Amino acid sequence: MKLIYSLLLLAPVAYVLPASALSADAKVGDTCQLALFAETLRGEIQSIDGDNITIAQGETTKVVRVSERTKFTLDGEASDRAKVLRVGAQVSVESEDGVATSVDAKKEALLLAETARGEITAVTNEGFTLKVGERTVEVRTNADTKYMLDGAEVTRAELLRSGAEVSVDHEDGLATVVNGKKAQ
């Protein structure tokens, strides 16, 4: 019996309150659910892995998940996920129970160099990870991305491999051309 009682005390409990107690624009009869753990994270996106984003805050990192309900903004104006979620972007993330409710990025932090040079460290279906100096950058590719090896067009599979040294022409993290040289 003690075990069951202890488990009941430790089980997470969400409270349902009248929404009118929390919001001026709520209607009588509306209810809302309070999050057990809400926080605001401010920092730089260090990595993106599917729906999980890792945010560097000084010496620490935190991982939050984005969902179909997450609101994305650039400097407070409505935007979409692809424009906001960029490795290196300075963001403010509101989250509840580890799930982002909103992500706001600063436009000036998203201005990326037109060409990046570095070593490919991983290849995914969506693109690849490029080590540029001490930083790691996620580069997206699509059907329009061109792949060049020593000036000749090649397939994606022929060029994108871990360890390859490449230069990438891109527009906000979407590769337009990936250039490589044969190893000597």
Residue range(s) in the chain whose domain bears CATH number 2.40.50.140? 38-110, 115-180
**Rounded Cα distance, 7 and 124, in Å:** 42
Those residues with Cβ within 8 angstroms of residue 163's Cβ, 6 or more apart along the chain or in another chain:
119, 120
pLDDT of residue 20: 44
User: Tell me: the pLDDT tens digits for 113-145?
Assistant: 567 788 999 999 989 988 887 777 788 899 999
Q: What is the CATH number of domain 115-180?
A: 2.40.50.140
* CA distances, 27 to each of 15, 24, 50, 119 (Å): 18, 9, 37, 56
Q: Give the pLDDT confidence score for residue 9 in this predicted structure.
A: 44
Token digits of residue 172: 């906000």
pLDDT of residue 16: 44
> Is the Cβ–Cβ distance between 111 and 100 less than 8 Å?
no
pTM, two decimals, is 0.45
Would you say domain 38-110 falls under CATH 1.10.10.60? no
C-alpha 115/C-alpha 167 separation (Å) is 7
Residues of the chain scoring pLDDT < 50: 3-23, 109-111
